[in-house]
Chain A
Amino acid sequence: MTKKREVRIRVPLLTRVEGEGALDIAIRAGRIEQLHLRIFEPPRLFEKFLQGRGYQEVPDMVARICGICPVAYQMSAVQALERVFDVDPGDHIRAWRRLFYCGEWMQSHSLHIHLLAAPDFLGFDSVTAMAKRYPDEVRRGLRLQALGNDIIRLLGGRSVHPVGACAGGFHRLPAPDESCELLARLQAARDDAEALLAWTARLPLPDDDQDFVSVALRHPHEYPMNGGRLVSSAGLDIAIEDYPQHFTEFQVPWSTALHAGLHGEPYLVGPLARLNLNLDRLPRPVRQALDATGIDFPSRNLFHSIVARAAEILLALHDAIAILEQPPAHAPAAAAVSPRAGTGFGCTEAPRGILWHRYEVDAAGLIVEADIVPPTSQNQARIEQDLRQSLQHFGLDHDEQALRRRAETVIRNYDPCISCATHFLRLAVERR
């Protein structure tokens, strides 16, 4: 008897969530009878707040959806708004935006690897406990995280809810001396990033081969961040505006975040999905460092996500250095924007995966309607699918503590933006 209910709704929805989650599993006669990743973070209704706001307010507002990946929200938003207004910000703005995004990937991935995920694999409860045994590794991670924050600060003034981005470009671009100073520190961090990648590959990661569909952006030349088509490992290849024809969002009773399906099935977004689908877009030195780990990508072991994150830190550092070595033009900081009515789509690669936005705007530049689909809600169904498979594979006869620990490890491995909550996971194992 399964209690799983799925409620399909037609309207793409509102507020997304990171925050507090819980896990309920019921096992009967050696079978998982029920498994719910419960997200109970109260909805914050951002899509409603956006209605009636001026387009200039959008980047400041959507940043507040997530303190860990505000840049991603701003980048998907400005991309969509520029499409409504038919504005081309120019190659130099595209380069500065990539740099901005590199900062967020470095910050977010370093935070996740060291503060959230690695303690699981090494048997600690927190980074501070891990730091006592692995002080050098933790400090290396904190340095890379700080560098990522410094990149965001260069273009946004502060790393949480940065103030620099706008439709058309930036409110201000860095002065040459500011970017030179940062470049020197980025160049000095190459060894750290390479050592980190090798270290993650040596972690005692569980071996768990699974079948899943990866979804990510794919760009003609670059490793995807700020543009490209949506592709999947099952052959999907669509423009971002066609997302609603293939992906559906639906409400389940146990989550305040909407679930999503690709043609009705769970799918994976995030670092491993991106890497699996874009190996040939890695710059040569990053590809070599990845190959040197001895892990075969594309990988079907979700626990290789932490290695993918480290590879993306190295990629972000590599790209940030390349951008600053040939600094893009410092002016104009933003292309002129004249509002007009229309609908625009934006999709970029947030640290946790594709972040899709749609805005309908009126002639005065006020938002009529907004849809935002964050990566974590897209991964929920995949996380539940993974939990069923990996716990079965792990062995349901393990004691409750071992089962709980493994379940938490599986969830955290996705770096859900409910990461705080998954550290506060309440697992109720019910045996009958």
Chain B
Amino acid sequence: MTARPRIAVHKFSSCDGCQLAFLNAGEDLLTLDRLVDMVHFAEAGPVDEAAQVDIAFVEGSISTQADAERIRRVRERSGFLVTLGACATAGGLQALRNLADGAGWLAGVYAQPEYIDSLATATPIREHVRVDFELWGCPVNARQVLATVRALLFGVRPVADHQKVCMECKRRQAVCVLVTGRRPCLGPVTSSGCGALCPRFGRDCYGCFGPSESPNTDALGRRFEGLGLTPESIARRFLFINSHAEAFAEAGHKWMGKHDEKA
């Protein structure tokens, strides 16, 4: 890595919320500017998409043919490629279209669908190119992103943390909303990273940070059934922010299948 590493932030299909980890960083943004050479970050100003960089952060999922080609060019020019958030890492909320007839939807929505360059699917970056490190979260937080930059500046590989939200609740002494509130909390199968925000707000986790290490989605789904949820609403729990992440997709489809059997 050069003395002043060159960094790029690329955007694909997304809400721009993960890039805000940089733009909301305040003083840290100015510090970062002294440590690295930000050569491409359209929302912040610099534009040089073709530049060779040491680290590329990629926000968003791939949902057009043009983007599928663009991510390959980004990969070729980037030393270390980091996905930034749920869309880039697992397709994000818009991956819900993968469950349905995406092309049919477009036709139902736009009078002139032929003007729209859109694939039927929204897929994560790793289905298109090799990814060196993945940051989960909808959104990622500034600490996660800056810690990744810092680790890479030190020349070490950033550490992925896929502990369960439950662990975070214990550490923060948050009351369990599943046990005490009978709420369908995804905390037992979701990676921490948010600081157990939802349980601390007295509500059920909805899976922003994706599947945790060894997620026992079967047991949790049955627990939800015991709480009185229908198979269809259990499926919806898993098929939300990270519907395309393998463990959640599998669980969601299983419960959707049970729903169809009943119907």
**A contact set with B: CB distance below 8 Å:** 7, 9, 11, 13-15, 18-20, 40-49, 53-54, 57, 60-61, 64-68, 70, 107, 111, 115, 119, 125-129, 131, 138-139, 142-143, 145-146, 149, 157-161, 163-164, 166, 171-172, 251, 253, 256, 333, 417, 419-421, 423-424
**B11 neighbours in A (Cβ, 8 Å):** 19-20, 420
Among B14, B15, B24, B201, the one with the most A-chain Cβ atoms within 10 Å of its Cβ is: B15
Shortest distance from the beta carbon of B19 to any chain A beta carbon, whole Å? 7
For residue B163, CB closer than 8 A to chain A, the reply is no
For residue B47, CB closer than 8 A to chain A, the reply is yes
**B106–A251 CB distance below 8 A:** no
What separation, in Å, do the CA atoms of A219 and B208 have in the docked complex?
A: 36
A-B contact count (CB 8 A): 183
Shortest distance from the beta carbon of B14 to any chain A beta carbon, whole Å? 7
Known contacts A158-B141, A420-B11: A128-B202 contact under CB 8 Å: no
Shortest distance from the beta carbon of A45 to any chain B beta carbon, whole Å? 6
**B20–A49 CB distance below 8 A:** no
**A14–B93 CB distance below 8 A:** no
Q: Can you list 9 A-B pairs, Cβ within 8 angstroms, ordered by A?
A: A49-B97, A61-B240, A66-B15, A67-B18, A67-B139, A68-B20, A142-B29, A161-B138, A423-B47
**A44 neighbours in B (Cβ, 8 Å):** 13, 63, 93-94, 122
**A13 neighbours in B (Cβ, 8 Å):** 109-110
Contact of A7 among B111, B139, B233 (CB under 8 A): B111
Given A18-B16, A161-B208: 8 more A-B contacts, CB < 8 Å: A9-B111, A44-B93, A48-B100, A60-B241, A125-B45, A138-B30, A251-B115, A333-B202
**A70 neighbours in B (Cβ, 8 Å):** 17
For residue B42, CB closer than 8 A to chain A, the reply is yes
Contact with A along B76-99 (1 / 0, CB 8 A): 000000000000000011101100
Closest to A60 in B: B206
Closest to A155 in B: B201
What separation, in Å, do the CA atoms of A230 and B200 have in the docked complex?
A: 38
**B112–A423 CB distance below 8 A:** no
**A7–B112 CB distance below 8 A:** yes
**A111–B44 CB distance below 8 A:** no
Contact of A45 among B45, B67, B109, B111 (CB under 8 A): B109
**A42–B117 CB distance below 8 A:** yes
Closest to A142 in B: B26
What separation, in Å, do the CA atoms of A45 and B23 have in the docked complex?
A: 26
What separation, in Å, do the CA atoms of A131 and B26 have in the docked complex?
A: 12
Contact with A along B187-212 (1 / 0, CB 8 A): 00000001001101111001010000
> Ordered nearest first, which 8 A-B pairs have the shortest CB separation?
A67-B17, A126-B45, A420-B43, A9-B111, A424-B42, A128-B33, A157-B197, A14-B109
Contact of A171 among B16, B18, B111, B201 (CB under 8 A): B201
**B contact set with A: CB distance below 8 Å:** 11, 13-20, 23-24, 26-27, 29-30, 33, 38, 42-47, 63-64, 67, 92-94, 96-97, 100, 102, 105-106, 108-112, 115-118, 122, 138-139, 141, 194, 197-198, 200-203, 206, 208, 233, 236, 240-241
Known contacts A7-B112, A125-B46: A64-B138 contact under CB 8 Å: yes
**A48–B109 CB distance below 8 A:** yes
**A128 neighbours in B (Cβ, 8 Å):** 29-30, 33, 38, 44-45
**B26–A146 CB distance below 8 A:** yes
Among A7, A40, A67, A256, the one with the most B-chain Cβ atoms within 10 Å of its Cβ is: A67
**B96 neighbours in A (Cβ, 8 Å):** 45, 49
Describe A's contact surface by its main secondary structure.
Answer: loop
Closest to B62 in A: A42
**B15–A64 CB distance below 8 A:** yes
What separation, in Å, do the CA atoms of A420 and B141 have in the docked complex?
A: 19
**A159 neighbours in B (Cβ, 8 Å):** 20, 24
Known contacts A43-B118, A53-B236, A54-B236: A423-B109 contact under CB 8 Å: no
**A67–B20 CB distance below 8 A:** yes
What separation, in Å, do the CA atoms of A149 and B141 have in the docked complex?
A: 13
What separation, in Å, do the CA atoms of A139 and B38 have in the docked complex?
A: 19
**B15–A420 CB distance below 8 A:** no
**A423–B45 CB distance below 8 A:** yes
**B139–A161 CB distance below 8 A:** yes
**A61–B109 CB distance below 8 A:** no
**A41 neighbours in B (Cβ, 8 Å):** 13
Contact of A160 among B17, B30, B105, B112 (CB under 8 A): B17
**B202–A256 CB distance below 8 A:** no
Shortest distance from the beta carbon of A134 to any chain B beta carbon, whole Å? 12
Known contacts A7-B111, A139-B27: A68-B67 contact under CB 8 Å: no
**B15–A142 CB distance below 8 A:** no
Known contacts A45-B105, A126-B44: A158-B115 contact under CB 8 Å: no
**A164–B45 CB distance below 8 A:** no
Known contacts A45-B97, A61-B93: A67-B19 contact under CB 8 Å: yes
What separation, in Å, do the CA atoms of A57 and B29 have in the docked complex?
A: 33
**B118–A18 CB distance below 8 A:** no
**B43–A48 CB distance below 8 A:** no
Closest to B240 in A: A57
**B23 neighbours in A (Cβ, 8 Å):** 111, 115
Shortest distance from the beta carbon of B8 to any chain A beta carbon, whole Å? 12
Among A14, A53, A128, the one with the most B-chain Cβ atoms within 10 Å of its Cβ is: A128
Known contacts A7-B112, A128-B33, A172-B201: A160-B139 contact under CB 8 Å: yes
